Amino acid sequence: MFPGEFEYHAPETIEEALDLLSRHGSDAKLLAGGHSLIPMMKLRLASSQHLVDLKNLKSSLSYIREENGDLAIGALTTHTEVEVSESLQQKAAPLAEAAGLIGDVQVRNMGTLGGSLAHADPAADQPAPALALEAQLVAQGPGGRRTIPADQFFFGFFATALQQDELLVEVRVAGLGANSGGAYLKVPHPASGYAVCGVAAVVETDGGGNCVKCRVGVTGISDGAYRATGVESALEGSAISADAIAAASAHATDGVEPLDDYFAGADYRRALAATYVKRALTTASERAGG
């Protein structure tokens, strides 16, 4: 199929892109790689009268650098660049590991971190690491920049805290320190590669085998990525062991209504979530020295 008619724009600056968003409102959609949006437009699941391609902003919005102890990642940094970054592999492993599991090499070479997060597909990989790493998402609009914590960014099915006239410009994460470890694991859909279940886990220990901090992000299970706070509360303050991790993982879908479709029923997704939370926590704990 072919998408409906639209007017194509390729702004040269962030300010020009923001002006287009302000002028065209809900009739405009941003293209930041396009490997999620374009298929939806071709299937007529999404439409736009104005398509704003951000390709010319790559020089200003594609980077990975350390700033004041944080890792700053430009929104147009590709999945491949995230995957191969040594600093992210060492200090934000869930982001790098998730990037390496997205689609295929063509998708990873074109798709962007910011595009994935802003699109907020409920089966996208990167929202889970963003939640587990407590990322700060920087949006720019006509009034300047504001920072949105990841756990306040995702609102469910393709919905985020971004305003219509805002652009996601940067993702910031605090690098994992000593006695900390992280991991991302997923069950990919065999046709699309999207996550049927994807889990990012971050564990910090006291150096003696006790969990002092746990963060778990889950994608693919519900209508949007979410923090598994029941898991976190159950493990924090406990001695890390296989039994403790298994008990905490039983809370993987607390307060969440799993999706139920022809490929994976709700009960199956509940079981997947518990299993992959357990595996991700085990790997993260091993990397933390727990």
Over residues 230-240, the pLDDT tens digits come to 999 999 999 99
Tokens (6 digits) for 259 = 């999706």
Co-location of 26 and 71 in the same domain: no
Residue 138: domain span: 59-174
33 pLDDT tier (thresholds 50, 70, 90): confident
Q: Is the pLDDT of residue 207 over 80?
A: yes
Q: How far apart are CA 25 and CA 114, in angstroms?
A: 20
Mean pLDDT of 43-51: 70
DSSP state of 220: S
Co-location of 49 and 103 in the same domain: no
* CATH (domain of 16): 3.30.43.10
Per-residue confidence (pLDDT) for residue 289, from 0 to 100: 84
Mean pLDDT of 202-229: 97
Can you say how many angstroms the Cα of residue 271 is from the centroid of all Cα atoms in its chain? 22
Per-residue confidence (pLDDT) for residue 32, from 0 to 100: 82
Does residue 34 sit within a domain?
A: yes
Does residue 91 sit within a domain?
A: yes
Q: How many structural domains compose the chain?
A: 3
Q: What is the residue-averaged pLDDT of the chain?
A: 93
Sign (positive or negative) of CA dihedral 83, 43, 186, 73: positive
Q: Is the pLDDT of residue 14 over 90?
A: yes
Domain stop point among 158, 174, 190? 174
141 pLDDT tier (thresholds 50, 70, 90): very high
Co-location of 52 and 68 in the same domain: no
Co-location of 128 and 145 in the same domain: yes
Co-location of 245 and 274 in the same domain: yes
Per-residue confidence (pLDDT) for residue 31, from 0 to 100: 81
Tokens (6 digits) for 189 = 């859909």
Does residue 1 sit within a domain?
A: no
